Amino acid sequence: MNAVNADNVTEVFMAHRQRLLGIACRMLGSWSEAEDLVQDAYLRWHRTAREHIESPLAFLVTITTRLSLDRLRELKREREHCVVTDEPEATFADPCPSPEAQRIQAEEVSIAFDAVMERLGTDERTAFLLREIFDYDYPEVARLLGKAEPACRQLIHRARTRIRDSNRRFTLTDESRMRVMQKFQAAMATGSHPNVMALLSEPVEYVEPARATSDRCHKVAA
């Protein structure tokens, strides 16, 4: 694709809009939510310095996926505050996704998680998951990693930059991916501290040319 410039920025976005809508709709289970989210993605795309973006599609998918993850966190908090009422006149729409919608969301979230695993190093991944996915505040991230808060902020900033990069840095073995994904889904489903810690302590095995390597997320305090 030709370089993106001020003259074709909207044209490039519109060429991928339907795909972005599909991603957002499958993750959120709502077409109207997806349309609002993709509009937000467009505004961010329009404000971004695009001269160094090699793959507009990869960049836009990353933006859309991250915005969807943010919205899923909001929906999770809303589900935790769902109010059950027996009053017949109550006609509130159910904010809790159906089991099928949750299954589809989980599939799309797994794609986003693969991007995290393929692009971030150990410390970056741990800090990013704690802050961006599980919504731990910076002081708590610093305590869990045993690092100074400014260092954690720098890790997360670097992780965000790498997530926007379309280049894969690591490849998980199939077995390791399955194990880590199971821990990730359990942590996402409950948000419980023990499940998050179980995810972060799970060994991760990567495949590299002619050899395999393994690591795990930075050792965290319980």
pLDDT of residue 46: 82
pLDDT digits (tens, 9 = 90+) for 105-160: 556 666 677 778 888 888 998 998 888 777 788 999 999 999 999 999 999 999 88
pLDDT of residue 81: 66
Torsion sign across C-alpha atoms 160, 161, 163, 169: negative
Mean pLDDT of the chain: 76
Tokens of 63: 């933006």
Q: Where in the chain is the domain with CATH 1.10.1740.10?
A: 1-95
Average pLDDT over residues 79-102: 50
Architecture of domain 1-95: Orthogonal Bundle (1.10)
pLDDT of residue 212: 42
pLDDT of residue 141: 92
pLDDT digits (tens, 9 = 90+) for 153-210: 999 999 888 877 667 788 888 898 888 888 887 877 677 788 888 888 888 888 864 3
Percent of the chain with pLDDT over 70: 72
Give 211 or 184, the one with higher predicted confidence: 184
Q: What is the DSSP string of the chain?
A: -PPP-TTTHHHHHHHHHHHHHHHHHHHHS-HHHHHHHHHHHHHHHHHS--TT-S-HHHHHHHHHHHHHHHHHHHHHHHHHT------TT------SPPHHHHHHHHHHHHHHHHHHHHH--HHHHHHHIIIIIS---HHHHHHHHTS-HHHHHHHHHHHHHHHHS------B-HHHHHHHHHHHHHHHHH--HHHHHHHHTSEEEEEETTEEEEEESPP---
pLDDT of residue 150: 95
Position 65 pLDDT exceeds 90 = no
